[in-house]
């Protein structure tokens, strides 16, 4: 256990250093995704704490056209989110290989990576949605629903990192992500715990800001900025550092 704690400490330190090193490119990337995502709000969704939640049973009372629109917008949203995930991972890769990087080059490379990741995430999200509708129809508690989703998404956690760092074809990347996540469950658990902590802090901050007159209308926007500029990039970098340190024994030592 002490060695594992020490390893996590080193990875966390590397994550902070890497985030600081590429923040100048994370900012435009995160703002671009935030701008696109701001147009993807649906009647069947709402935003709290910078995260989207689906009212599963609402879709049962929607028209077929509403359902089709929901699928299209959900696909666009997943592509935007995967674009941010693989974009941050590509930044880490470029820096580690000492490759010249610009925002245009990053965007072009991220599009091809995002297609692979968003396809996998779309079908996972569709399966999660269908299962969510069924379970909510049977009044399954939300905590059980959340645990089911954690298990369903377990094998896809490291998919952006494997797609970018290994440049594997779609099916091989998905299989490699599943194998890695099952082989290193501690890293997945840490990712889930930190995600919960960060989102919880954002919700608390947003709720607090909403009590202030000046910030009442801007609180959700501020929480979204924190999500796309800090939380998602930081967690994606953390997964990169975990993967590089575990598989290739690569750290940021000497890469100042």
Q: pLDDT tens string for the chain (256 positions)?
A: 445 555 788 888 999 999 998 898 888 888 888 877 766 554 334 333 334 444 544 555 556 666 666 677 777 778 888 888 998 998 888 877 666 655 566 667 778 888 889 888 888 888 888 888 888 888 888 888 888 888 889 999 999 999 998 988 888 999 999 999 999 999 999 999 999 999 999 989 888 888 888 777 788 888 888 999 999 999 999 999 999 888 887 665 433 3
In a domain, 256, yes or no: no
Reduced to 3 states (helix: H, G, I; strand: E, B; else coil), residue 206 is helix
Which domain covers residue 33, as residue numbers?
2-248
Identify the residue whose tokens are 């994370």: 26
Question: What radius of gyration, in Å, describes the C-alpha atoms of the chain?
Answer: 19
Number of domains in the chain: 1
Helices H / strands E in the chain, number of each: 9, 2
pTM: 0.81
In a domain, 112, yes or no: yes
In a domain, 11, yes or no: yes
The strand ranges marked E within the chain are 45-48, 51-54
């Amino acid at each position: 256990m002490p060695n594992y704690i020490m390893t996590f400490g080193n990875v966390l330190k590397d994550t902070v250093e890497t985030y600081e090193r590429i923040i100048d490119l994370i900012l435009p990337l995160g703002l671009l995704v935030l701008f696109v995502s701001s147009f993807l709000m649906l009647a069947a969704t709402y935003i709290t704490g910078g995260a989207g939640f689906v009212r599963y049973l609402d879709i049962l009372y929607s028209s077929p056209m509403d359902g089709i629109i929901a699928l299209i917008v959900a696909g666009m949203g997943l592509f935007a989110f995967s674009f941010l995930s693989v974009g941050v991972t590509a930044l880490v890769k470029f820096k580690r290989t000492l490759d010249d990087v610009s925002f245009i080059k990053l965007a072009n490379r991220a599009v091809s990576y995002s297609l692979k990741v968003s396809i996998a995430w779309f079908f996972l999200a569709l399966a999660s949605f269908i299962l969510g509708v069924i379970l909510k129809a049977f009044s399954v508690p939300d905590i059980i629903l959340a645990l089911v989703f954690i298990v369903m998404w377990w094998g896809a956690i490291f998919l952006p990192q494997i797609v970018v760092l290994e440049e594997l074809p779609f099916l091989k990347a998905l299989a490699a992500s599943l194998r890695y996540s099952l082989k290193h469950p501690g890293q997945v658990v840490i990712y889930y715990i930190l995600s919960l902590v960060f989102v919880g802090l954002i919700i608390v901050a947003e709720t607090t800001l909403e009590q202030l007159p000046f910030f009442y209308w801007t609180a959700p926007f501020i929480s979204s900025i924190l999500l796309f500029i800090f939380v998602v990039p930081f967690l994606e970098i953390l997964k990169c550092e975990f993967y590089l340190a575990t598989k290739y024994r690569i750290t940021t030592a000497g890469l100042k």
